[in-house]
Structure formats: structure tokens, C-alpha cells
Amino acid sequence: MAHLHFIDNQDGDVEDQLVFCSDFCHRSYCQEHDGLSYGGWNGCHEISTAEPCAYCEETVQGVNDEGDLA
């Protein structure tokens, strides 16, 4: 399950997202990057395919992936 940080455009529409393996990585990333506000816990999301965590680069498994990617 992924933790997501949504990035809005100037109209307030979601235009991108960052994927994290944990709430710790989400909070840590936001603290280290000016302009990103941690909006609270936003976990338990399913993502389609595996992606690396934006903070620690650990693989976040996707629902369409088979088996371990390790």
C-alpha cells in the first residue's frame, strides 16, 4: 500500500503525485522540500504498478505486479 502526496496546479486540480512507502518517508520528504506542505496521513492507496518511494527509493508494490520485485 502506498502513501500519496498530491500536487495541485494553480486551479486546484491534481496534476501529479508523489509515491511513498510510509508516512515517515512522506513527512520527511515534505520537511526537506520547501513549498511542500505535509497534509497529514494519506496512506493505504493502491497503485497500479510498482514505483520507488520518492524519499528512500524502496519499491512500493503495485496491484498489477506479480510476486516480489526484489
Q: Which residues contact 19 (CB under 8 A, 6 or more apart)?
A: 2, 3, 4, 47, 51, 52, 53, 54, 60
Reported as half-sphere exposure (CB side, CA atoms, 13 A), residue 53 has a value of: 20
Summarize the confidence of residues 14-22 as an average pLDDT: 97
Summarize the confidence of residues 8-20 as an average pLDDT: 95
The mean pLDDT value of the chain amounts to 92
Residue length, the chain?
A: 70
φ, ψ for residue 12, nearest 5 deg: 90, 5
pTM for this predicted structure: 0.86
